[in-house]
Structure 1
Amino acid sequence: MIGSKVIDILVFLSVVETGSFVAAGKSFGLSRSTAGKAVARLEEAYGARLLNRTTRALDLTEEGRSLYEHGLAIRDAIEAADSSIKSDQGVPRGTLRVTAPDALGRRLLLPTVQKYLETWPETQIELSLSDRVDNIIEKGFDLAIRIGVNSPDQSFVTRTLLRDETMLCAAPSYFETRATPLNIEQLSRHDLLQFATRSARQGWHLQDEDGAWVRAQGRVRLRLDSAEALREAAIQGLGIVLLPRLLIGPDFSERRLQQVLPHVSSGRIPIVALYPHKRLLEPKVRRFIDMLSSDLRRLPDQ
């Protein structure tokens, strides 16, 4: 019975990370209905709802978030046991090609890169820092680290390293001539800084005190394709921005930025490792992912 529950928990993790019963089922060779039944069995076993289902999204309940965090530990233990006995487990060697967002790479990846190179002297790393989501196979990357990007198809594997809180913030100077917004509706009177590429534009869905999700309205006069550029624009007082806490934590302590609408939730965003599907993952890739995951989970406020 324990074994079947573990499988259900692993399916539940996949549902949360892909945001889809269909995608989660496919990753286990199951149908959508079978994946749904796995979550239903868990909800019946625990006597609690784990997911709030809407036509647009799947949101974790408090009980669901608790199970998700414990489920990550279960999956990590399985992966550790699996990798410890696989024949390809060995000393990492050769060049590891990694792509990551600019801000995340500069602030959080470089310490792991330094430790990785010191630990495994027979390796080299080529690190591309860009917020563009390139085709990692065509570009020859072994690994992509992304914020809020899930696997585009079943030829890729996605491992969630961390789910980070996103926060609305702005520079103190921005409010020198403007009133601080007191609710989501008052954002419509402010300048919003949002991420955009040629193919997609960011929109903000915020949860008010009543638990309802609302699409924020505001003047978007500046769009940027770089999280680091968005951060810099906010520090310069150009508007209100929504970014992961990991990228802006020091800016709060040093008072370059201040939180806006602290009572409003903007959800948590996954930081993921994305790599081409392989039956046996090379040691150089696995070791880097494991090290980065461990480093991220040791960061303050996580």
Structure 2
Amino acid sequence: MKLSSDDLMVVLALCQEGTLERAGQFLSRDASSVFRAIKRIEAKIGGPLFERSKAGFQPFPAAEELAEKGRDISAALSKANAICSEIGGIQSGKLRVTTTDVLLEHVILPNMGALRQMMPQLSVQFSTSNQVVQLWERGFDLAIRPSSNPPDQLLGQCLKRFGYVAVCARDYEQSAQAQRGDFSKLNWLVPGGALKQHPIRKGLAEQMKSAASILSFDSMNQMLHGVHLGLGVAVIPDLAPLTRGLVRLDMPSAQDSTELWSLYHPSNRGNLLLQGFTKFVKTALADT
């Protein structure tokens, strides 16, 4: 029996993802469907393609060779889709975008009018998450998020480099000034929950040892809202839409600068919708 292009894509998915669950997400199938497909393919060729273990599936050399052919097919399909979009002259379709809550509310949504003018037939599905999203699991087409070390298996571009700044509301400024030089006694608003390992929190470890009080949030946007309510001091990205209306405090930076990246799976190379949305976000960030 001959192998089909679908067979090659299944082998590619399992080689690339390592587990049935992630391969299924890559292919928009369930894990049991991928398992049955691999068994069928192995029956076709008369031998095993993967070594099974508790850690997942390790490809044998034959599987890696077949996966390379699958990559060629994936790249060809991406180019074909790009050509079809160019022929139509209209950038229409659906794009699944994941980003952080604070970037969506303060950078992306306020500029959506410009995006609609630029790409009127684009449908965007937003998902906000402050946790690291694995795009190789194919739940999303594009991620717009801070990263000091983007994953090697993803493609993308750096949209902006930014630093961090300590801020408070004007209602809290007097309290902050009264503790000048001893920031450990301030009321601090910090990342918590799913964001507990955020570099901001690590950088504030010394100040928080004797803080007057600490409020933690698993949402950067809610933390920023707490600052505007005068609940205390927080370290936030130094982007104009976020710092507007707040008082900057003269204190050592608690966190080095980082980068904001547009990241996508290699199979989306040449996707005009993705390129257009990335250009839109970069333009929105130009004045921040």
Say whether residues 1:164 and 2:162 are aligned partners.
Answer: yes
Q: Which has the larger radius of gyration?
A: 2
Q: Which residue of 2 aligns with 1:131?
A: 130
Say whether residues 1:197 and 2:171 are aligned partners.
Answer: no
Q: Which residue of 1 aligns with 2:267?
A: 278
Q: Aligned-pair RMSD on alpha carbons?
A: 3.2
Distance in structure 1 (CA, Å) of the matches to 2:177 and 2:282: 40
Q: For 1:55-74, what per-residue CA distance to the aligned partner results, in whole angstroms no more than 9, with x for missing partners?
A: xxxxxxxxxxxxxxxxxxxx
The answer for unaligned runs of 5 or more in structure 1 is 1-82, 207-212, 252-256
Q: Is the 8 A contact 1:150 1:158 kept in 2?
A: no
Distance in structure 2 (CA, Å) of the matches to 1:121 and 1:238: 41
The TM-score with structure 1 as length reference comes to 0.57
Q: 1:217 to 1:155 in 2, by over 3 A?
A: same
Q: 1:195 to 1:139 in 2, by over 3 A?
A: farther
Q: Is the 8 A contact 2:166 2:249 kept in 1?
A: yes
**Aligned-partner SS, 2:95:** strand
Q: Which residue of 2 aligns with 1:221?
A: 214
> For 1:32-71, what aligned pairs fall within 5 Å after superposition?
none
Distance in structure 1 (CA, Å) of the matches to 2:235 and 2:160: 18
Q: 1:261 to 1:94 in 2, by over 3 A?
A: same
Say whether residues 1:108 and 2:107 are aligned partners.
Answer: yes
The alpha-carbon deviation at position 145 of structure 1 amounts to: 0.9
Number of aligned positions between the proteins: 201
**Which amino acid in structure 1 is aligned with residue 105 of structure 2?**
R
> For 1:1-302, what aligned pairs fall within 5 Å after superposition?
90=86, 91-138=90-137, 140-148=139-147, 150-151=149-150, 153-177=151-175, 179-183=177-181, 186-198=182-194, 200-204=196-200, 216-218=206-208, 219=211, 221-246=214-239, 247-251=241-245, 257-261=246-250, 266-278=255-267, 280-297=269-286, 299=287, 302=288
Q: 1:160 to 1:172 in 2, by over 3 A?
A: same
**Aligned-partner SS, 2:130:** coil
Distance in structure 1 (CA, Å) of the matches to 2:253 and 2:120: 46
Q: Is the 8 A contact 2:108 2:284 kept in 1?
A: no
Q: For 1:223-259, what per-residue CA distance to the aligned partner results, in whole angstroms no more than 9, with x for missing partners?
A: 11111111111122222101113242322xxxxx211
Distance in structure 1 (CA, Å) of the matches to 2:95 and 2:276: 11
The TM-score with structure 2 as length reference comes to 0.59
Distance in structure 1 (CA, Å) of the matches to 2:232 and 2:130: 21
Distance in structure 2 (CA, Å) of the matches to 1:190 and 1:222: 11
The alpha-carbon deviation at position 265 of structure 1 amounts to: 7.5
Q: For 1:190-221, what per-residue CA distance to the aligned partner results, in whole angstroms no more than 9, with x for missing partners?
A: 22211123374334499xxxxxx996422362
**Which amino acid in structure 2 is aligned with residue 248 of structure 1?**
L
The answer for unaligned runs of 5 or more in structure 2 is 1-78
Distance in structure 1 (CA, Å) of the matches to 2:274 and 2:214: 41
Distance in structure 1 (CA, Å) of the matches to 2:205 and 2:84: 48
Q: 1:292 to 1:182 in 2, by over 3 A?
A: same
**Aligned-partner SS, 2:207:** coil
